[in-house]
Structure 1
């Protein structure tokens, strides 16, 4: 059972998220918090697997709370949930250690999938956020720099097998392991193994970095 802590300053949002989470047989809500300070205290006491974290809250915002949580011993996985799809929030949330970023208009299925992905150590972004992130942060506009980055990325990807390149391309599209498995006709365990090997071979720490490298190499064009 995946243990979830919900953090949002609006009680109606918390109630809706609780209903969505508890409709899934493998998810359980262990607590709710209305601000970042309370989220940190409750996470330390309740030991959730995943924290659904709002960004804009009183006293302590979700970005600050995320940074505090990921620095703690045995930290939970944080999925940032917001109505604001602004690039700076995405970038800051990922830099602070969030493993997922979803808009509040995401479907119930997308939300539960994000929690499951986070619990298994995957980074999950909505496809809309993934596209914006790659456009904004994948590289400079200068053509010379872009060409240099592209050539370097292609060179780095030479260590990958053909199947690993296929997995990287799917990963770059924002797919979770289960979706990668379904699209490439393999088991989820095999997809997860491929992702781990790709990150290790390319000396990357997370899936978002892998997506950006795939973008530089032209795999997502």
Structure 2
């Protein structure tokens, strides 16, 4: 019997999934949760085998929740079930250890098959975002090349922008950056666009690679940056 936890902030979805999965002979829903914090409480009470995890939930989103769960209970399998196919969510969910990523709209049979698949140690990716995942893996495979930025371009960065870059180096999502630096997600996106233009970098992946290569986080945390625009 596969024990499943359902995490979604919409009550109708929680109830519908619970009814369908409990009707199966090989699965039982141990708990339902409306946010990430509730998920953490549930797994301490009843450790599930598989979690169906929504991405956008209050208090703690599904990506951050996935990270915490895989750090403390790596044996628990997590399937991200969402209406969003944003690159950032795909990348971070898989980076933090999710075993599956499905878009809402899959049939109940497909969902049940995905649960069984990840329970048995395999991964399950929705066909609609497989190309996106392969592109991300390709970028990661090429991450051993060196990315250089001109010194004069770095001199144009403000202290606020350096702090954003340090968060990108950590692998933080826009939402996590916004929460950490007390900004809106829109402001974070604007900062990132400006940073990429100043450094003449193509995308967030190049920025993250460059930040790691130059050890930006230690520079930001280790000494004050005497530039304007401090947060």
The two structures share one fold, judged by TM-score above 0.5: yes
- Give secondary structure in 1 for the equivalent of 2:39: helix
Greater gyration radius: 2
What is the CA distance between 1:88 and its match in structure 2? 1.4
Residue correspondence of structure 1 range 101-140 to structure 2 within 5 A: 101-139=101-139
Structure 2 alignment gaps of length 5 or more: 146-231
Structure 1 CA distance, aligned partners of 2:39 and 2:103? 19
- Give secondary structure in 2 for the equivalent of 1:131: helix
Residue correspondence of structure 1 range 79-158 to structure 2 within 5 A: 79-139=79-139
- Give secondary structure in 1 for the equivalent of 2:139: coil
Residue correspondence of structure 1 range 4-83 to structure 2 within 5 A: 4-73=4-73, 75-83=75-83
What is the CA distance between 1:41 and its match in structure 2? 1.2
- Give secondary structure in 1 for the equivalent of 2:31: strand
Structure 1 CA distance, aligned partners of 2:12 and 2:93? 24
What is the CA distance between 1:18 and its match in structure 2? 1.0
Structure 2 CA distance, aligned partners of 1:43 and 1:83? 24
What is the CA distance between 1:136 and its match in structure 2? 4.2
Structure 1 alignment gaps of length 5 or more: 146-221
Maintained 8 Å contact 1:20/1:112: no
- 1:25-77 Cα offsets, whole Å, 9 max, x none, are 10100010110011011012101000100010110111111111011145411
Maintained 8 Å contact 1:69/1:75: no
Number of aligned residue pairs: 142
Structure 1 CA distance, aligned partners of 2:135 and 2:10? 32
Maintained 8 Å contact 1:9/1:33: yes
- 1:104-160 Cα offsets, whole Å, 9 max, x none, are 1111111101111111111110112212211344239x9xx8xxxxxxxxxxxxxxx
Over 3 Å counting, the alpha-carbon distance change for 1:9 and 1:24 in structure 2 is: same
Structure 2 CA distance, aligned partners of 1:75 and 1:41? 17
Maintained 8 Å contact 2:77/2:119: yes
Structure 1 CA distance, aligned partners of 2:126 and 2:104? 11
Over 3 Å counting, the alpha-carbon distance change for 1:36 and 1:131 in structure 2 is: same
What is the CA distance between 1:102 and its match in structure 2? 0.4
Greater shift in the superposed pair: 13-22 or 52-61: 13-22
- TM superposition score normalised by structure 1: 0.61
